[in-house]
Amino acid sequence: MSYSPSGDAVALKHPAMRFRAVIAGWLVATAAAGLLYVAGLALGFASFDAWNAARSAKGIGIGTAIWIIVTWIAALFLGGMFAAWFDGRNDDTSGALHGVTVWGLSLTATALWLAMGLGHAMSGYPGDAHGPGPEGHGGPAMIPAVSVLDANISYQLTGGEHGNSSPIVTALLAGQDDVAAALMAADTGTGTEAAAASLQKLTPQIDAARSESKMAAEKTAHYLSLTLWIAFLSGFLSLLAAAVGGWLGAGQIHRVYHLRKYPARRLH
């Protein structure tokens, strides 16, 4: 409640959020992001060199990270600006709020889409700690030393190539030699000492598999941390871009609609 200079009471009404403008701005942001992603894919494939795949992959990885950040900033800036234009009010604060709401809707939709995609991928590939193997059974991880160790233990178990070696390899990689020997003794029907002696002959391969597994785990953790930092930076900068886009869009309403004339509504 406020009072006019004449002393009359005047009710203050705060501007309401127009969600139709938010959804329209989100659609613009989504379309812009899709267009930029396609352009990024085109640039990535064009710069790939099959004769120098390792160097090309590194360059493409760095370029992808930068392009994702740029895409989010540009798309949410446009989304916030168009949301303010669709709102149609010359109110900087309202425009910034519409831009932030477009950012929140975009981030929520992306998170749900990623969660559904990851859930579908995980449900479609059964396997154990080593990953999916042939014929739907768990197999060794795609690490050369681990694959060699798995093949050797599988051969000792059955004299062939399809023994149930995954639990034994898992125990060895975890440093549980006693558990691995007990599992091998149970599978082969021999004593624990004989199984331990058989595994002792594979000590160089076991050490190599453990070393490569640790290196692979460290590399995975490094890339996962880098991915999360890129996601955080993209989200934070796109939040600022959406707010600035909405703020600028609301300040330019007079430029957007200055040539348009709308008929006045008749009051009944």
Render the burial of 192-209: b for 16+ CB within 10 Å, e for the rest. eeebbebbeebeebbebb
Q: Which of 50-59, 92-101, 103-112 has the lowest mean pLDDT?
A: 50-59
Query: How many residues does the structure list for the chain?
Result: 268
Q: What angle do CA 12, 18, 24 make, to 5 degrees?
A: 160
Please write the tens of the pLDDT for every residue from 36-53. Answer: 999 988 888 887 777 777
Q: What angle do CA 136, 141, 147 make, to 5 degrees?
A: 105
- Calpha distance 267→210 (Å, rounded): 82
Q: What angle do CA 160, 180, 129 make, to 5 degrees?
A: 80
| Residue for token pair 């007990």 | 182
Confidence tier at 26 by pLDDT (50, 70, 90): very high
- DSSP single-letter state for residue 131: B
| Amino acid of residue 155 | Y
Beta-bridge partners for 131: 128
Q: Which run of H or E residues covers position 208?
A: helix 203-251
- Calpha distance 238→94 (Å, rounded): 18
| Amino acid of residue 72 | W
**Percent of the chain whose predicted confidence (pLDDT) is above 70:** 78
Quick one: pLDDT at residue 124?
53
Quick one: pLDDT at residue 211?
87
Residue-averaged pLDDT of the chain: 79
Q: Give the tokens for residue 172.
A: 């060895």
Please write the tens of the pLDDT for every residue from 129-167. Answer: 444 443 334 444 467 878 877 777 777 666 544 456 778
Q: Which run of H or E residues covers position 3?
A: strand 2-3
* Ramachandran angles phi, psi of 91, nearest 5°: -135, 110
Question: Who contacts 73 (Cβ-Cβ below 8 Å, separation ≥6)?
Answer: 234, 237, 238, 241
Confidence tier at 85 by pLDDT (50, 70, 90): very high
Residues 132, 126: contact at Cβ < 8 Å? yes
Q: Is residue 113 predicted with pLDDT exceeding 70? A: yes
This prediction's pTM:
0.71
Q: What angle do CA 240, 98, 27 make, to 5 degrees?
A: 90
Q: What is the mean pLDDT of residues 172-188?
A: 81
Q: Among candidates 200, 199, 174, which has minimal Cα distance to 184?
A: 199
